[in-house]
Amino acid sequence: MADKKIIAVVGATGAQGSGLVRAILSDPSGGFVARALTRDVNSDKAKELSKLGAEVVAADVYDEESLKLAFKGAYGVYCVTFFWAHFSPEKEMADGIFKKGREYAGKTVGIAGEHLTGARMAASFTAALGQEVRYKEVSPEVYRSFGFPGAEDLGNMFQFKRDFEQVFCGARNLEVARALNPALQTFDKWLARNKSRIPLE
């Protein structure tokens, strides 16, 4: 245990972070251990991660001192930010969570699954769910006009992915990701396992 490299995971109880924590824990010979950061070490999700073998530590990305402690001795950090909690670009920049990750710990890590088009995903949904799922292209510009909280942010994300597809996909090398984590699922495999959780009308 002591010779293992620590990966500190921000948002460890959430959808993104918990996937990484579980992947690290399910690979005991991988040379890494997971340190799960959470604001509430007593929540059910935090306790579950602790039971699975993660080191669970209290941290809030808006509390710099807590981050310093949580990142201490870590070999790498996995960071997510919480833009949707406040919708403020200024706060997002001020957080500097990625900068702090480098400053207090060391390197950063990331994973990638598969590069699929919307049409290809719709075809997979259709096959898995047994009812037609159609892909309808909505331009980022139109998306921004929908007006619901976060529509602008999502429109920006889709624009970035459309206009800088090669940069975005190029930085997420699937072969490297699969070599690092052979258990990484394809979309079809994930769908086969999880289709019963998708509510159908």
Ligand X SMILES: NC(=O)c1ccc[n+]([C@@H]2O[C@H](COP(=O)([O-])OP(=O)(O)OC[C@H]3O[C@@H](n4cnc5c(N)ncnc54)[C@H](OP(=O)(O)O)[C@@H]3O)[C@@H](O)[C@H]2O)c1
Interface with ligand X (CB under 6 A): 11, 13-17, 38-40, 43, 46, 59-62, 80-85
Q: What's the closest the beta carbon of residue 45 comes to ligand X, in angstroms? A: 6
Name which of 39 and 178 has its Cβ closer to ligand X: 39
Q: Can you read off the two tokens belonging to residue 146?
A: 């929908």
Name which of 8 and 33 has its Cβ closer to ligand X: 8
Q: What's the closest the beta carbon of residue 12 comes to ligand X, in angstroms? A: 7
| Sign of the alpha-carbon dihedral angle for 101, 41, 181, 31 | positive
Name which of 4 and 151 has its Cβ closer to ligand X: 151
Residue with tokens 């490299």: 5
Look at residue 8 and give its three-state secondary structure. Answer: strand
Q: What's the closest the beta carbon of residue 158 comes to ligand X, in angstroms? A: 11
Name which of 14 and 30 has its Cβ closer to ligand X: 14
Angstrom distance (rounded) from CA 178 to CA 127: 25
Look at residue 41 and give its three-state secondary structure. Answer: coil
Q: Can you read off the two tokens belonging to residue 30?
A: 């991988």
